[in-house]
């Protein structure tokens, strides 16, 4: 079947190039994929809910199984959601999965944009993709608000009331826009059907179109990557689309679906039967919207009731916090790539990502903006916080008004200072200390003691002599991985060779050097070792040592040792993962492939691949001169 399609459409060569597409390997790049998978789950669960939902505001009498509301007059939309929750098999689970997926979808989109902002991935030539992503964020907010209002319960009706008040507060055009959106003066019977059309047809269609454009631009321009060995502005180092990236994405999708299904089945959300049907004369308290609209509710609660008059037109108090403030902020966010390019005079293309510490000004501005919206979101629950802490609501309002002007500048200044210090010191904020001291106990275990001196990581054997970092690696290797496999099966048998209970032999160590690891290996095997002076011909013998045969016991032990060190201390990068699960250092630039027969580095030009750099492939079209390097390719 696949060959039939390829022969008819001519996709053979394109498919092979697509499967060899290289993607950088970093966990932060999966955040955008989580948003994509949440959207897929939203479409799947939303299709199921649409089969049972009735978008009608006509008044009906509820006759369902929920006894407290039986006999009350409700809207047809509310009645259909109640029947979906209590009478349709798996209806309530689907509703809650859909709601949780919407929350995670918006959250992952926001986090993804924050990652792009703080790392500078929006710079040339990716300004257009930034605008596309920002538009998708606005569509996600619109999808969340329209879907949140469809059940027509009391809480969602309160949110609709706030939205209507924000629309009519726009000078001159506000009443016309509100009448067009709501079908008249609020409340109206046409608003549910119009919200349904927006939520099911228009907004998802636009989101799908922009999502396709976003991925197409990403495919065309190549993915950005973090700075590291072998990475430059002219190449892409990572893993191929097939099988690594494809299987990784499928695993992340399955995990996302499992977590959302678990939350939908165990964590209750939006119980509309507790809120009751919408009534224009009733407002529930305390009431808070979903988190992505909480900042708008908090802004309306904090801003004073100012109503200035401009050219004889009175501006309603809702205009400043609900329209002007979000409009200015989102406009700056959408145009930020062009604003930063104008401020920094940097018009060059950038394919390597920045560390937040390298751009203190941008990081401080982003932190201040996030803190500002965090304060507004918390202010949206001032009544709930006041009720929980047993204080007056007015006191919480005054506190958040002060925090709105104090917390963002202080947080931004603190972030700026921290980034400056980290940039000048070139230290990792989560890096390990200078070292620890371990001591072998009488039972054969290890215990940590306070370090007396700074320097590399050491192990202290029984006699107090210090061992280098390689011994530290061996200790955790034997204790954590090989120890349970090679330990003595008989409790009464004394520990012998290959057991974790065997104490370290005493060493006569001088200054640590690159030869310390070899000497410690000899000492571990019970042989005397002294590294006070380099042994004659040591380096020459090391160069002559044959590499252990692949699959042998010595090769397996070497891989387990390096993997134990890498997993425990994070010393191995993603590029160092070779084929068949092996570990290897990143390839050196400029080294040519070696041919075993002619013993030349392909300088004769008579062998396949002569003259190509090891592990590099030129991109044929649309690469802009960038090189893709697959980390799975063997040297």
* Residue 287 CA neighbour count, 13 Å, CB half: 19
Alpha-carbon span 182 to 163, nearest angstrom: 10
pLDDT for residue 553:
67
Determine how many CB atoms are found less than 10 A away from the CB of residue 607.
Answer: 13
Cα angle 385-386-388, degrees, rounded to a multiple of 5: 65
Contacting residues for 260 by C-beta, under 8 A, at least 6 apart: 38, 41, 97, 100, 101, 104
Contacting residues for 325 by C-beta, under 8 A, at least 6 apart: 299
> In CATH, which superfamily holds the domain spanning 29-281?
Cytochrome Bc1 Complex; Chain C (1.20.810.10)
**Residue keyed to tokens 């280098």:** 468
By the 10 Å C-beta count (0-12 exposed, 13-18 middle, 19+ buried), 387 is classed as middle
pLDDT for residue 449:
72
pLDDT for residue 562:
66
Q: Is the peptide bond preceding residue 286 cis, with omega within 30 degrees of 0? A: yes
Alpha-carbon span 473 to 621, nearest angstrom: 46
Question: DSSP class of residue 222?
Answer: -
Alpha-carbon span 4 to 516, nearest angstrom: 61
Phi, psi torsion values for 530, nearest 5 degrees: -140, 125
Mean pLDDT split into 10-residue runs, the chain, 635 residues: 74 77 88 95 96 92 92 92 94 96 96 95 93 96 93 89 91 89 85 93 95 93 87 86 89 96 94 89 79 91 88 87 93 95 91 91 95 94 89 92 95 94 76 62 76 40 40 39 38 38 39 39 38 47 58 70 52 37 43 46 44 38 47 44
Contact 369, 110 (CB under 8 A): no
pLDDT for residue 61:
93
pLDDT for residue 547:
59
pLDDT for residue 9:
76
The ranges of the chain annotated as CATH 1.20.810.10 are 29-281
3-state DSSP assignment of residue 183: coil
Treating both helix axes as pointing N-terminal to C-terminal, what angle do 246-266 and 91-119 enclose, rounded to 10 degrees?
Answer: 130
Contacting residues for 46 by C-beta, under 8 A, at least 6 apart: 98, 147, 200, 204
pLDDT for residue 33:
94
pLDDT for residue 111:
96
Contact 575, 229 (CB under 8 A): yes
pLDDT for residue 577:
37
pLDDT for residue 7:
73
């Amino acid at each position: 079947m696949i060959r039939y399609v390829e022969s008819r459409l001519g996709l053979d060569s394109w498919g092979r190039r697509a499967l060899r597409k290289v993607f950088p390997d970093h966990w932060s790049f999966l955040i955008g994929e989580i948003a994509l998978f949440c959207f897929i789950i939203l479409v799947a669960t939303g299709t199921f809910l649409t089969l049972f939902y009735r978008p009608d505001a006509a008044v009906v009498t509820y006759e369902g199984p929920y006894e407290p509301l039986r006999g009350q007059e409700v809207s047809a939309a509310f009645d259909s959601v109640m029947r979906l929750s209590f009478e349709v098999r798996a209806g309530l689970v689907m509703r809650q999965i859909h709601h949780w997926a919407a929350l995670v979808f918006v959250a992952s989109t926001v986090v993804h944009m924050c990652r792009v902002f703080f790392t500078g991935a929006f710079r040339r030539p990716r300004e257009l993709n930034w605008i596309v992503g920002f538009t998708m964020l606005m569509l996600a907010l619109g999808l969340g608000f329209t879907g949140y209002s469809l059940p027509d319960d009391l809480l969602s009706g309160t949110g609709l009331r706030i939205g209507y008040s924000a629309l009519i507060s726009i000078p001159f055009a506000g009443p016309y826009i509100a009448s067009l959106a709501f079908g008249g003066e609020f409340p109206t019977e046409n608003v549910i059907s119009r919200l349904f059309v927006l939520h099911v047809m228009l907004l998802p269609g636009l989101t799908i179109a922009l999502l396709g454009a976003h991925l197409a631009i990403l495919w065309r321009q190549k993915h950005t990557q973090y700075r590291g060995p072998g990475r430059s502005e002219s190449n892409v180092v990572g893993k191929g689309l097939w099988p690594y990236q494809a299987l990784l994405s499928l695993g992340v999708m399955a995990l996302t679906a499992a977590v959302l299904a678990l939350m939908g089945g165990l964590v209750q959300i939006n119980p509309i039967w507790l809120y009751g049907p919408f009534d224009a004369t009733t407002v529930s308290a305390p009431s808070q919207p979903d988190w992505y609209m909480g900042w708008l509710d908090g802004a309306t609660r904090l801003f004073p009731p100012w109503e200035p008059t401009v050219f004889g037109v009175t501006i309603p108090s809702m205009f400043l916090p609900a329209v002007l403030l979000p409009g200015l902020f989102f406009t700056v966010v959408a145009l930020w790539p062009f604003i930063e390019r104008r401020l920094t005079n940097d018009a060059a293309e950038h394919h390597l990502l920045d560390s937040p510490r390298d751009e203190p000004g941008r990081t401080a501005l982003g932190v201040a903006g996030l803190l500002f919206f965090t304060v507004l979101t918390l202010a949206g629950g001032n009544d709930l916080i006041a009720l929980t802490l047993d204080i007056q609501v007015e006191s919480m309002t005054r506190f958040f008004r002060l925090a709105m002007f104090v917390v963002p500048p202080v947080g931004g200044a603190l972030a700026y200072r921290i980034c400056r210090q980290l940039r000048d010191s070139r230290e990792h904020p989560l890096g390990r200390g200078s070292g620890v001291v371990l001591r072998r106990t009488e039972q054969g275990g290890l215990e940590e003691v306070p370090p007396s001196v700074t320097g590399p990581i050491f192990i202290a054997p029984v006699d107090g002599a210090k061992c280098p970092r390689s011994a530290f690696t061996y200790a955790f290797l034997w204790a954590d991985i090989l120890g349970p496999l090679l330990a003595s099966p008989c409790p009464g048998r004394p520990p012998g060779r290959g057991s974790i209970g065997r104490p370290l032999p005493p060493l006569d160590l001088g200054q640590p050097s690159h030869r310390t690891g070899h000497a410690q290996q000899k000492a571990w095997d019970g042989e005397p070792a002294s590294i006070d002076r380099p042994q004659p011909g040591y380096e020459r013998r090391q160069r002559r040592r044959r590499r252990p045969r692949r699959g042998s016991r010595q090769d397996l032990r070497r891989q387990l040792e390096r993997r134990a060190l890498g997993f425990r201390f994070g010393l191995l990068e993603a590029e160092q993962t070779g084929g068949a699960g092996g570990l290897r250092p990143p390839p050196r630039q400029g080294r040519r492939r070696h041919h075993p027969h002619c013993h030349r580095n392909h300088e004769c030009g008579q062998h396949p691949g002569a003259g190509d750099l090891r592990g590099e492939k030129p991109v044929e079209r649309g690469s802009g001169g960038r090189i893709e390097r697959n980390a799975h390719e063997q040297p």
